[in-house]
Chain A
């Protein structure tokens, strides 16, 4: 199977990669945030496509990252912001694995509680967010119970 996604095939808006990961079907406007959350902006060759045409969703974002293969935990994190995302693993220009992402039960360390009075925002306490609803994706702070929709979740840093 050819590794290129539909966006790349139809006019090569986003150039193909030989080895790495293509994160596809991201909601428009989320790619930069997700790339930052995964730490993809540090060193690796990353190609970000925004507002690309999608037959399935109308518009979508897409991320290609060279020589980086995401872990299951990283895929779970993507699901918080893009529950319909697919993660394609490319080796020697071939698609060797296609994963659907699934929403994690717990997210540790990466998010910021939206409650300014939460202990995690006042003292050096690692955050822990718990998924309390999957549709819409809603996350609650393990410490103070404050809930936010996943799209409103703020990231550390």
Chain B
């Protein structure tokens, strides 16, 4: 399937071959291929209904590095969402102004719905405006997963067959849902470390099981740290908890320090989608195995590659 005008909604919509093409374009851009002529005259909207630092700024940097303009809002204050405008009406409107829409939204499935709205517009004879999911509620964050996979491949030389632990808020964390789906394509062994109430949702586990992925559940990092090639930490997300008491029971449960990393393999890499609160101590930043800031940096080449591909700047 080609990328021109393609919506980027769920990592499950992509094959390994698709992902390899994205990584190939990202590598070309990183090795001197950024050119403002690639998306000259294009305009990208960034509709961020929820807070974001890395996703929004890396999309904006990516678009600008290829010559595209951006129009955006960050938070719904000051928009007609405050007056009760539906997502449908916002998308129908913004689609008139831009060539692509990047959306982050608090509701699960919002990005898929936004993509359907622009597809229906296209059925009415308008241009198809591709929609890119920048995180929808507790559901998915596919571009984060692409940059995660890119980082894993960079640091380990491969993705196939690695053992990867995901730690923390696996229930509400959209990054780990998308990553788990993707790792199933690479024959990875998955270790899920979380308290019972924050374990991976049943629908993600059943997806992994139906694809024969070796996946085990754990409650402490110590059970897996010596075995894994990637330790993927996540923040316990206070804002996703329906009940603050539930949050208080699990906050601060997992913490990786430089000392704790002594138990890990020399080739292990410590990753985190960021922001962190206290789940990785600052002293761990100096450990050569920590690569979360490099990971965040990879947001630019991956998102630039996606924008270039869906907007036809690079075929």
Q: Give A contacts to B, CB under 8 Å.
A: 113, 115, 117-120, 122-125, 138, 140-147
Contacts of A113 in B (CB 8 A): 109
Q: Would you call B110 an interface residue if the criterion is a C-beta within 8 Å of the partner chain's C-beta atoms?
A: yes
With most chain B CB atoms within 10 A of its CB, the pick from A113, A115, A119, A141 is: A119
Q: Would you call B206 an interface residue if the criterion is a C-beta within 8 Å of the partner chain's C-beta atoms?
A: yes
Contacts of B201 in A (CB 8 A): 146
Q: Would you call B203 an interface residue if the criterion is a C-beta within 8 Å of the partner chain's C-beta atoms?
A: yes
Question: What's the minimum C-beta distance from B92 to chain A, rounded to whole angstroms?
Answer: 13
Contacts of B206 in A (CB 8 A): 138, 147
Contacts of B138 in A (CB 8 A): 117
Q: Would you call B108 an interface residue if the criterion is a C-beta within 8 Å of the partner chain's C-beta atoms?
A: yes
Question: What's the minimum C-beta distance from B13 to chain A, rounded to whole angstroms?
Answer: 11
Q: A119-B136, A143-B113, A144-B109 provided; 20 other pairs, C-beta below 8 A?
A: A115-B108, A117-B106, A117-B107, A119-B108, A119-B110, A119-B113, A120-B109, A123-B87, A123-B88, A124-B86, A124-B88, A143-B108, A143-B109, A144-B112, A144-B137, A144-B139, A145-B10, A146-B108, A146-B201, A146-B203
Contacts of B212 in A (CB 8 A): none
CA A138 – CA B209 in complex, angstroms? 15
CA A123 – CA B139 in complex, angstroms? 17
Residue of B nearest to A115 (CB): B108
Q: Would you call B202 an interface residue if the criterion is a C-beta within 8 Å of the partner chain's C-beta atoms?
A: yes
Judging by beta carbons under 8 Å apart, are A145 and B113 in contact? no
CA A119 – CA B87 in complex, angstroms? 9
Contacts of A118 in B (CB 8 A): 107-109
- Chain B interface: which size bin? 20 to 34
Judging by beta carbons under 8 Å apart, are A140 and B107 in contact? no
**Given A117-B137, A125-B113, also A144-B108 (CB < 8 A):** yes
With most chain A CB atoms within 10 A of its CB, the pick from B136, B138, B203 is: B203
Judging by beta carbons under 8 Å apart, are B139 and A145 in contact? yes
CA A124 – CA B84 in complex, angstroms? 12
Question: What's the minimum C-beta distance from A147 to chain B, rounded to whole angstroms?
Answer: 4
CA A122 – CA B109 in complex, angstroms? 11
Question: What's the minimum C-beta distance from B240 to chain A, rounded to whole angstroms?
Answer: 9
> Binary interface profile of B, 101-134, with partner A (CB < 8 Å = 1, else 0)?
0000111111011000000000000000000000
Contacts of A123 in B (CB 8 A): 86-88, 107, 113
Question: What's the minimum C-beta distance from A55 to chain B, rounded to whole angstroms?
Answer: 35
Residue of A nearest to B12 (CB): A145
Contacts of A143 in B (CB 8 A): 108-110, 112-113
Question: What's the minimum C-beta distance from A122 to chain B, rounded to whole angstroms?
Answer: 5
Judging by beta carbons under 8 Å apart, are B107 and A119 in contact? yes
With most chain B CB atoms within 10 A of its CB, the pick from A113, A123, A124, A144 is: A144
Partner of A147 from B87, B106, B140, B202 at Cβ < 8 Å: B202
Question: What's the minimum C-beta distance from B76 to chain A, rounded to whole angstroms?
Answer: 14
With most chain A CB atoms within 10 A of its CB, the pick from B88, B107, B110, B137 is: B107
CA A149 – CA B213 in complex, angstroms? 22
Residue of B nearest to A138 (CB): B206
With most chain A CB atoms within 10 A of its CB, the pick from B109, B136, B206 is: B109
Judging by beta carbons under 8 Å apart, are A142 and B108 in contact? no
CA A147 – CA B303 in complex, angstroms? 30
Contacts of B107 in A (CB 8 A): 117-119, 122-123
